[in-house]
Structure 1
Amino acid sequence: MQDEMKTWRQELHRIPEIGLEEYKTSSYIKEKLKKWGIEYKDGYSNTGIVAWVRGTKGNSDKSIGLRADFDALPMTERNNFKHKSTNKGMMHACGHDGHTSMLLGAAKYLSENPDFDGTVHFIFQPGEEGFGGGEKMIQDGLFQDFKIDEVYALHNWPGLKLGQFGVSTGPMMAAVDEFDIVVKGKGGHAAMPDLAVDPVIIASQIINSLQTIISRITNPVDKALISVTKIHGGSAYNVIDDEVKLGGTVRTFKNETRDLIEKKINDTAKGIAIANGGEAEIQYYRKYPATINSKNESIFAGNVAKELVGEKNVITEVEPSMGGEDFSYLLNEKPGSYLYIGQNDNYHNAHLHTTQYDFNDNLLPLGVNYWIELVKKFFQK
């Protein structure tokens, strides 16, 4: 089935779609499921799909959910191979084409070999890249419509070598928040700053001071970051403008740290602005929660990986990433685990979200075999 999966993966790579509008991708998945006679229900988060296979070895109501994301990113691909993106300004730069192909392979195999007692649910999720597709699937009735006991996900990881896995019994990915700050001053002539209130100076002080929230206010052993990633202001060399806009992201793992940083960003921005005769308006947006694996399920998932690739190739208690992931919503509802599967070899060392990234087709069979073994071991627990 490896050649088949490679074909699926490269076909999906050619048709990247984003933002809960992955219509061609969703249709592609459903066509495969229909062809194999696998039952499914669609309409979750617009383009999402849940398929299922019931085992033939008994009447157990035990069930497991396996999830793959299938959206792409708004990027222009710089690769030159034959399967490069055909959709302008869109690219599979995070490997979701590979995740989907691995889950399709597992669905096909298990539908042909249903020698287990229970039900496997295959969760094909749209809109992971900033659109909260996982949360929307839950809101649309994912866990009301289907009894799912535990949930699992695989994500390719360029920081691990092909043939390796990474897992943790706790945090895997950070909570993601965003903020916008509008600094309001008083415009004037650049040669007469004493008659103005310069928002550029105020914004500069705010940017520098925000970093002290991490270095001086949060616990030094508690991972967190604040990155100011954009600043816009001014229109001419000799004009002090009325306002400056800046924005950025916050990453945390603990809810109390998340609360603290939100409060301190507000306090810092407003305090500095007032002290300099200006004002600051802050908008703070809570995006994805932290992806926190449950302990027992992660030990189980890691043990399955060890049996597949050997203990030395499974990194337990892997270092958490400050990236975000909306599988977190599923883990907030059900016990389960999110694992990294190694992507790196001599031909695949580009990082995620870069214009020359491409999923490593050589890990497709490993990913499918992992899903199959996980399912078998799950129903033997």
Structure 2
Amino acid sequence: MEKNLVEVNLDKLVSFRRDVHRHPELGFEEHETSRKIREYLEALDVEYVSGIGKTGIVAWIVGSREGHGASVGLRADMDALPLEEHSGVDHASRHHGRMHACGHDGHTTMLLGAVEYFRHNRAFSGTIYFIFQPAEEGVGGGKAMVDDGLFERFPIKEVYGLHNWPGLPVGKFGLVSGPIMASGDRVDITIQGRGGHGGLNPHGCVDPIRIAAELISKAHTIISREVDPLNPAVLSICAIQGGDLDGFAVIPNTTKLSGTIRALDEETRTIVASGLRRLCESLEHYYGATIELKIEDKFGVTFNDAEATESARKVIQECFGEDALVRDYKPSMGGEDFSYMLAVRPGSYIHVGSGDEDHPHGLHNPQYDFNDSIIPLGVSLLSRLAVASLNRQYS
């Protein structure tokens, strides 16, 4: 497999990626990252507009061949996570409690590599838009860019994105038509009871700890008994806060829970949310407590268009070989707010293998670091996807 299908200055790109890694910024706070991207674009004399969806940027390059309005968008995310880094690499985060633990520094770098390639190779018809998106990590950057007129201001007809995937070895690509990433809802539950002495008068209390325990137990049966077993779904209560560990005999007034709902279709998503609402209402009435349930829509299902996905499959096989595509690839129950863009324009989202002996850690792990060896693969893939899309629009 030829890894460097387009010419890239790998040393330059790796240096940029590691600089961004040293200085991670959280969602909608990517001011320095955005500045560095703008400087890179300006050095290439590439046109762009900044401030889209707060800190987002859209750049574009028009091909030198005559055309009739074909256009395609390539998207990369650029925010970091609120996580303390323990990777031990020389370019580790210099900011306490923030790190690039999902590889968005690498995605941004690969997109800049594609910009630089097309800056010097304009022998195509149409316009390629390069979308640098803020705030992917559950903060709504994709939605913010769409709401800020991304597709009205820039006539993008198809849009593509990729994500490094440590669960796949370098040189492998994961792709599926239809849902590839799950919807994601944040669940917050507040149980307001009546506290008191845990030894003297527990019978006079409305114990929110007891209610929380029952709620957690019953919530985890919603999937197994209300959802079609052939429709993937997840309901996880991931955090609980109530009382004080030093107050061993104190029943608190309030207990709070948080968690997430994931599904690959809207009907299943609704069934799980409805089941959780009914459960909270029944426990509220039974125990005489007040239970407040909030379900926040973080992102929808990331849905790959069939035609765009078939085009992407052909690009991968032609560029990287028949065996590069993982057979019978399965969707992930992780979420991705690229879903907001794919809900408006057809396109496809691709997992790019990044796992090897030197990069065994998964996404969102404090020991994770992006695998720089896949930068040429990402640049090549993005570039070929764009050209294939433009050519299809003219065919």
Partner of 2:208: 199
For the 8 Å contact 1:149–1:335, the answer to whether it is kept is yes
Partner of 1:121: 129
2:386 counterpart of 1:378: no
For the 8 Å contact 2:73–2:386, the answer to whether it is kept is no
Partner of 1:216: 225
For the 8 Å contact 1:174–1:322, the answer to whether it is kept is yes
3-state secondary structure, aligned to 1:225:
strand
Unaligned runs of 5+ in 1: none
Partner of 1:296: 307
Partner of 1:246: 257
Q: Which moved more, 1:82-91 or 1:115-124?
A: 82-91
**How many residue pairs align between the two structures?**
381
Partner of 1:230: 239
1:183 positional shift: 1.7
For the 8 Å contact 2:139–2:298, the answer to whether it is kept is no
1:197 positional shift: 2.1
For the 8 Å contact 1:180–1:283, the answer to whether it is kept is yes
Partner of 1:60: 68
Detail structure 1 runs of 4+ shifted over 6 Å in the superposition.
none
For the 8 Å contact 1:169–1:317, the answer to whether it is kept is no
1:309 positional shift: 1.2
Where do residues 1-381 of structure 1 align in structure 2 (5 Å cutoff)? 1-191=9-199, 192-235=201-244, 236-315=247-326, 317-381=328-392
Letter in 2 for 1:352: L
Whole-angstrom distance in 2 between the partners of 1:33 and 1:278 = 57
Q: Over aligned residue pairs, what C-alpha RMSD do you find?
A: 1.2
For the 8 Å contact 2:308–2:346, the answer to whether it is kept is yes
1:347 positional shift: 0.4
Whole-angstrom distance in 2 between the partners of 1:153 and 1:316 = 20
Whole-angstrom distance in 1 between the partners of 2:327 and 2:132 = 26
Whole-angstrom distance in 2 between the partners of 1:33 and 1:125 = 15
1:60 positional shift: 2.3
1:316 positional shift: 5.1
1:59 positional shift: 2.9
Unaligned runs of 5+ in 2: 1-8
Task: Using structure 2 for the length normalisation, give the TM-score.
Answer: 0.94
Percent of aligned pairs sharing the same letter:
44
3-state secondary structure, aligned to 1:322:
strand
Letter in 1 for 2:18: Q
**Deviations, residues 133-157 of structure 1 (Å, cap 9, x unaligned):** 1110111111111101100001000
Letter in 1 for 2:175: V
